[in-house]
Amino acid sequence: MIKINENFNKLQSSYLFSDIAKRVGAFQTANPEKNIIRLGIGDVTRALPDACIQALHTAVDEMAVDASFHGYGPEQGYDFLREAIAKNDFQDRGCNVEADEVFVSDGAKCDSGNFQEIFASDVTVAVPDPVYPVYVDTNVMAGRTGEASDGRYNGLVYLDANKENGFLPALPSEPVDLIYLCFPNNPTGVTATKEQLKAWVDYAKANKALILFDAAYEAFVQDENLPRSIYEIEGAREVAVEFRSFSKTAGFTGTRCAYTVVPKECMAYTADGEAVAVHALWNRRHTTKFNSVSYPIQRAAEAVYSDAGKAQVKELVEYYLKNASYIKNKMESLGYECIGGENSPYIWIDAKGDSWEFFDALLNKAGVVCTPGAGFGKCGEGYIRISAFNSYENVVEAMDRIESALK
């Protein structure tokens, strides 16, 4: 008899965005004429930068000719992309990352979900609350938790992010081994300073822990004093892995390309306390289970680092940040407290009540979809997240409708 992985039964009913889709679907069926504006799921809406499209066309043409055709590529990614990433995203910004520490993949979702696989099933895992649900659910699937009660899984250490601490969780009060951090944060839009990240790096060093740092939104950081990478923090190479993505930076959500940096100094330990390089473990896992991203897509990603690509990506990011600022200003003028939205495409709004009720009110009265904070964890209750990923015209229209609905 084929038996299931019982850990899947612990997962809480359904994924946040399918709950939202059901409610939106029901509303659209009841109101077929209504033009719904979606500021919920963090999916980009603008076309790929022209530099990427040009590179994609050229690479597709190469695939049409035997002499320049590419079959399987190196599992870790082509050198041309790994080198461009290491140089432009790290070395040019003063961070010591080598090309062979970069693992190209088809998404930060997969990487941040899969990375836990190389660690023991009894490591203690700390996750912020509210949190990008992938970190939690993948650890549940792997059997690192007990059942859920009151919206939290037994066995996970939750790091509360709330109004009192400015949505920046404090260090854990009990020892933990694996720590998920995400800055700029999804869902709160909060960023961390170098000093704040330094405290986490120091904690990880002192406890032989490892930080999984999700920097999927780093491109939105405009403040020169804020870190865009954890490797701007002294000592981070010994204790931190970083996830990056071209999804939000360059509009690759449907194109799929991302990467993970695993510095060679990062260590994990055998049951006997012997140090093993995390780089070697991840390389083994990645090359066994992943066959790289297609050649044309890697060429398109490389084009992000051309002069034209850099200018086009900057323009894209600024476009979404202008939306974010519009949303934030409007919600504040309506008397709602907001955070995020400055170095982030997300605005986290105090709903002054139940987050699903506020979600329903915006959907039913304004035809606007947001994301209820409760879907990101217990500390998200009472908040909603509005995403800046849409056209400026739609954002203005959505905020006009919200203004009329809430007045």
112 belongs to the binding site for ligand PLP (CB under 6 A): yes
Rounded CA-CA distance 127/326 in Å is 31
Only one of the segments 147-155, 162-170, 245-253, 370-378 lies at the binding site for ligand PLP (rule: CB under 6 A); that segment is 245-253
Fill in the per-residue mask, 179 to 218: x = in contact with ligand PLP (CB under 6 A), - = not in contact.
---x---x---------------------------x-x--
Among 49, 77, 107, 340, binds ligand PLP (CB under 6 A): 107
Shorter beta-carbon distance to ligand PLP: residue 9 or 18: 18
Token pair in block for residue 110: 């997969």
CA distances from 298 to 53, 223, 359, 376, 406 (A): 12, 29, 38, 32, 46
CA distances from 128 to 118, 142, 306 (A): 21, 19, 36
> Which residues touch 403 (CB under 8 Å, ≥6 apart)?
330, 334
As to burial, measured by CB atoms within 10 angstroms (0-12 exposed, 13-18 middle, 19+ buried), residue 37 is buried
What single letter denotes the amino acid at residue 358? F
Shorter beta-carbon distance to ligand PLP: residue 111 or 366: 111
DSSP 132-186: -HHHHHHHHHTT-S--EETTEETTPEEEE--TTTTT-PPPPSS--SEEEEESS-T
376 belongs to the binding site for ligand PLP (CB under 6 A): no
Q: How many residues bind ligand PLP (CB under 6 A)?
A: 14
Only one of the segments 103-111, 141-149, 163-171, 396-404 lies at the binding site for ligand PLP (rule: CB under 6 A); that segment is 103-111
Shorter beta-carbon distance to ligand PLP: residue 250 or 402: 250
Specify whether the CB–CB gap between 159 and 127 falls below 8 A. yes
16 belongs to the binding site for ligand PLP (CB under 6 A): no
Shorter beta-carbon distance to ligand PLP: residue 219 or 258: 258
As to burial, measured by CB atoms within 10 angstroms (0-12 exposed, 13-18 middle, 19+ buried), residue 121 is exposed
Shorter beta-carbon distance to ligand PLP: residue 42 or 340: 42
Only one of the segments 62-70, 78-86, 104-112, 281-289 lies at the binding site for ligand PLP (rule: CB under 6 A); that segment is 104-112
Shorter beta-carbon distance to ligand PLP: residue 216 or 384: 216
Size of the chain, expressed as the number of residues it contains: 407
What single letter denotes the amino acid at residue 176? V
Q: 243 has which bridge partners?
A: 214, 260
> How many other CB atoms are found less than 10 A from the CB of residue 162?
17
Q: How far is the CB of 253 from ligand PLP (least distance, A)?
A: 5
Only one of the segments 102-110, 221-229, 295-303, 351-359 lies at the binding site for ligand PLP (rule: CB under 6 A); that segment is 102-110
Fill in the per-residue mask, 34 to 63: x = in contact with ligand PLP (CB under 6 A), - = not in contact.
--------x---------------------
Q: Which of 152, 40, 187 is nearest to 378 (CA)?
A: 152
Q: How far is the CB of 364 from ligand PLP (least distance, A)?
A: 26
258 belongs to the binding site for ligand PLP (CB under 6 A): yes
Rounded CA-CA distance 255/253 in Å is 6
Q: Is the dihedral of CA 183, 291, 97, 304 positive or negative?
A: negative
253 belongs to the binding site for ligand PLP (CB under 6 A): yes
Among 38, 82, 109, 328, binds ligand PLP (CB under 6 A): 109
Among 90, 132, 231, 259, binds ligand PLP (CB under 6 A): 132
Among 247, 312, 323, 387, binds ligand PLP (CB under 6 A): 247
Only one of the segments 14-22, 101-109, 231-239, 365-373 lies at the binding site for ligand PLP (rule: CB under 6 A); that segment is 101-109
Rounded CA-CA distance 228/222 in Å is 9
The residue ranges that bind ligand PLP (CB under 6 A) are 42, 107-109, 112, 132, 182, 186, 214, 216, 245, 247, 253, 258
